[in-house]
């Protein structure tokens, strides 16, 4: 398992990154993207994990749970 960190500059950059990432790779995005209409729906349907950046504890829990799943299932 590995983690790729990308600093995209626009919301639509995430859609392009999803297209070039290796198979079985799941991106993590800010939760605000979920509420951006069609872009949010496309992100949700793509399996993107949303992180609430306003609540640090919640964000840490989501990332920690994702890391545990990656290790347990040997998922990249």
Sequence spans of domains, the chain: 25-73
Q: Which residues, other chains included, contact 15 with Cβ-Cβ below 8 Å and sequence gap of 6+?
A: 39, 42, 43
| Confidence band, pLDDT 50/70/90 cuts, at residue 14 | low
| Structure-token pair, residue 3 | 């983690």
Reported in sequence order, the residue ranges of 1-76 that DSSP labels E, i.e. its strands, are: 28-30, 49-51
Question: What is the rounded distance in angstroms from the CA atom of residue 60 to the CA atom of residue 43?
Answer: 20
pLDDT of residue 52 exceeding 80: yes
| Confidence band, pLDDT 50/70/90 cuts, at residue 76 | low
What pTM value is reported for the model? 0.59
């Amino acid at each position: 398992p590995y983690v790729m960190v990308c600093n995209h500059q626009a919301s639509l950059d995430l859609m392009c990154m999803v297209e070039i990432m290796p198979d079985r790779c799941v991106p993590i995005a800010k939760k605000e993207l979920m509420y951006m209409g069609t872009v949010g729906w496309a992100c949700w349907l793509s399996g993107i994990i949303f992180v609430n950046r306003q609540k640090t504890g919640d964000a840490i829990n989501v990332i920690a749970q994702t890391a545990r799943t990656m290790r347990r299932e040997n998922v990249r």
